[in-house]
Amino acid sequence: MVTKTPSLRARGILEELKRCGVSHIVWLPDSESTFMYDAIHNEPSLTLVPVCREGEAMAVAAGLLMGGKTPVVLIQNTGFFESGDSIRGICLDWKLPMLLMIGYRGYESKPMTDSAGIYLEPMLKTWGIPYHVIEEDSQVSRISQGFREAQSGPRPVAILIAREYDQP
Amino acid sequence: MMDGIAALGILAKERGDAVVVTHMSTGHDWSKVSTRGELDLNLSGAMGKASSFGLGMALARPDVKVWVFDGDGSLLMNLGSLVTVGAMAPRNMVHFVYENDAYDTTGGQPTPGAGRMDFAAIARGAGYARAFSFESLEDLQNRVKEVLAGDGPTLVVLKVPSGGRRPPAGLPRAAESFAHIRELLAQRVAR
């Protein structure tokens, strides 16, 4: 008997973000987000804001929030590590309702090639940032759950994308 | 070089309803000349991110003029943001840079490339629509309307002397200004 591997479609993620009323995706691509770029590119209701380095993303998203928009940040955990002072000095200190979508390189189900997977959850816990892990389509409602938690805080909440996106 | 507060005074007379984001030493100096404190936000944490924050603001509200006052040391920490801004090309954003070749807040140590590098040239190369550099108050006064009239993103280098550490300016916390300005902008209907 052949077991079908669960998928995590980029399109499903975007539909969930649209349900949350997200207007902008501030992002820097990583090795696992190819299909996500294609999906965003073909979605006219979402504006993509590419940045050169992940630490810019939180500040750009904060500016969008002040202007009345609803951004999310989409980066990999390596970029999360790079963004430390922006997360501390803006997202946490200002108590911003910001969803941080973070690619989980080195998640437990994958071969570990470096330390990126080791430090992500301990760092989120240290900073008191709640998070939800998504591995397949059936779990994308956790995005809306995290979005509501971010709004009600207000506080940043992380969604950890634990596998490569599948085709839209 | 020109006196920084005097230069900011020339600009303050032209700001109209612009939302102003200050950073590092510029926050102290701008507070001496600004008459619209309710539209000022001093980004005191996350050094180097004023340009990125201003970009988000400018993209969210293309109908609102956004001014960013950066420091040279802080912009050097986020130089890639010039490319990000150039690529998104917000026409309503003016990015001022206090160029004093020093880290004022840490005691005046020289910045890398002090006296050798050219922010205006880098901004043009990064895709900014326009870039200017001013060393004299007279020149700034004579051209200020021209600088502010055109479409951005515009970079304006203000060459000023190092002023050393500033005393506390008593500015509102950024989180408070954020909430207040967000509310004010929500009331200001987008045209």
Continuous segment of H or E residues that includes residue B130:
strand B130-134
pLDDT value at position A77? 95
Residue A23 lies in a domain: yes
Residue with tokens 């997360």: A87
Percent of chain B whose predicted confidence (pLDDT) is above 90: 86
CB contact under 8 A, B57 and A49: no
pLDDT value at position B106? 87
pLDDT value at position B186? 94
Measured from the Cβ of residue B57, the count of other Cβ atoms closer than 10 Å reads 30
Look up the ipTM and state it.
Answer: 0.96
What is the tens place of the pLDDT at every residue in B12-35? 999 999 999 999 889 999 999 999
- Residues of A near B (Cβ–Cβ under 8 Å) read 24, 26, 47, 49-53, 55-69, 71, 85-86, 88-90, 93-95
B167-187 exposure pattern, b = at least 16 Cβ within 10 A, e = fewer: eeeebeebeebbebbbeebee
What is the tens place of the pLDDT at every residue in A114-135? 888 999 999 999 999 999 999 9
What average pLDDT score do residues A50-79 get? Answer: 97
Q: Name the residue among B28, B19, B98, B99 with its Cα closest to residue B59.
A: B19
CB contact under 8 A, A56 and B81: yes
Q: How many domains does chain A have?
A: 1
Name residue B40's beta-bridge partners. Answer: B20
Contact B29, B162 (CB under 8 A): no
What is the tens place of the pLDDT at every residue in A80-103? 999 999 999 999 999 999 999 999
Q: How far off is chain B from A154, nearest CA to CA, in Å?
A: 12
CATH number at residue A49: 3.40.50.970
| Residue A164, burial from CB neighbour count under 10 angstroms (0-12, 13-18, 19+) | middle
CA gyration radius, chain B: 15
Pick the CATH number of B4-172+179-187 from 1.10.240.10, 3.10.20.30, 3.40.50.12280, 3.40.50.970: 3.40.50.970
Name residue A161's beta-bridge partners. Answer: A103, A134
pLDDT value at position B128? 98
Distance from the Cα of residue B133 to its chain's centroid? 13
Of A24, A67, A86, the CB nearest to B61: A67
Query: For residues B121 and A70, what is the distance between their CA atoms, to the nearest angstrom?
Result: 34
The domain of A47 spans 10-161
Q: Which residues of A fall within a CB distance of 8 Å from B74? A: none
Q: Where are the alpha helices (DSSP H) in chain A?
A: 10-19, 34-41, 54-66, 77-82, 84-86, 116-127, 141-152
What is the tens place of the pLDDT at every residue in B94-151? 999 999 999 988 888 999 999 899 999 999 999 999 999 999 999 999 999 999 999 9
Query: For residues B60 and A115, what is the distance between their CA atoms, to the nearest angstrom?
Result: 37
Nearest 5°: phi and psi at A124? -60, -40
Residue A1 lies in a domain: no
Residue A167 lies in a domain: no
> Which residue, among B40, B49, B182, B184, would best test binding to A if mutated, counting the most A CBs under 10 Å from its CB?
B49
Kindly give, in sequence order, each residue whose CB lies less than 8 Å from that of residue A71, ignoring residues fewer than 6 positions away: A22, A23, A24, A25, A26, A49, A60, A61, A64, A65, A98, B56
Number of CB pairs, chain A paired with chain B, less than 8 A apart: 111
pLDDT value at position B164? 80
pLDDT value at position B84? 98
CA gyration radius, chain A: 15
Percent of chain B whose predicted confidence (pLDDT) is above 70: 99
| Token pair of B167 as six digits | 């005393």
Residue A129 lies in a domain: yes
Residue A114 lies in a domain: yes
Residue A79 lies in a domain: yes
Residue A40 lies in a domain: yes
Does the structure show a pLDDT above 80 at B168? no
pLDDT value at position B6? 97
| Token pair of A67 as six digits | 């202007």
